[in-house]
Amino acid sequence: MAQIKSDERIPARMPSEVYEKIVEAARLTGATLNQFLVQAALEKADNVLERERVIHLSRKAAEMVFHLLDHPPEPNEVLKKAAARRKYEPPCPK
């Protein structure tokens, strides 16, 4: 059976009490220490990324957003002036 060689390493130093706790948790889940650490880090990364990328709205706020998308207000003078100052730049061909 061929072994998969990982591309990246993450060294970590920690107090022995923390290490022992992580080793025990890994053992209880039936994972190696490396598997446990990677899975735990991945779960934490997923949580952080979701928190930063997903906007949670109440039903009322979501309805307001959808209404504004379907029925945008007329542009005010500030927006009209800003649009007039902006030069149109056609997209670059690939």
Quick: pLDDT tens for 52-94.
999 989 999 999 999 999 999 999 999 888 888 886 666 777 6
Contact 57, 65 (CB under 8 A): yes
Query: DSSP assignment, residue 86?
Result: S
Tell me the helices (H) and strands (E) count for the chain, helix number first.
Answer: 4, 0
Instruction: Give, for 31, the enclosing helix (H) or strand (E).
Output: none
Contact 36, 25 (CB under 8 A): yes
- Distance in angstroms (rounded) separating the CA atoms of residues 23 and 18: 9
Q: What is the pLDDT of residue 2?
A: 57
Contact 27, 33 (CB under 8 A): no
Q: Considering the entire predicted model, what is its pTM?
A: 0.57
The single-letter code of the amino acid at 4 is: I
Residue whose C-alpha is closest to residue 33's, from 25, 45, 41, 43: 25
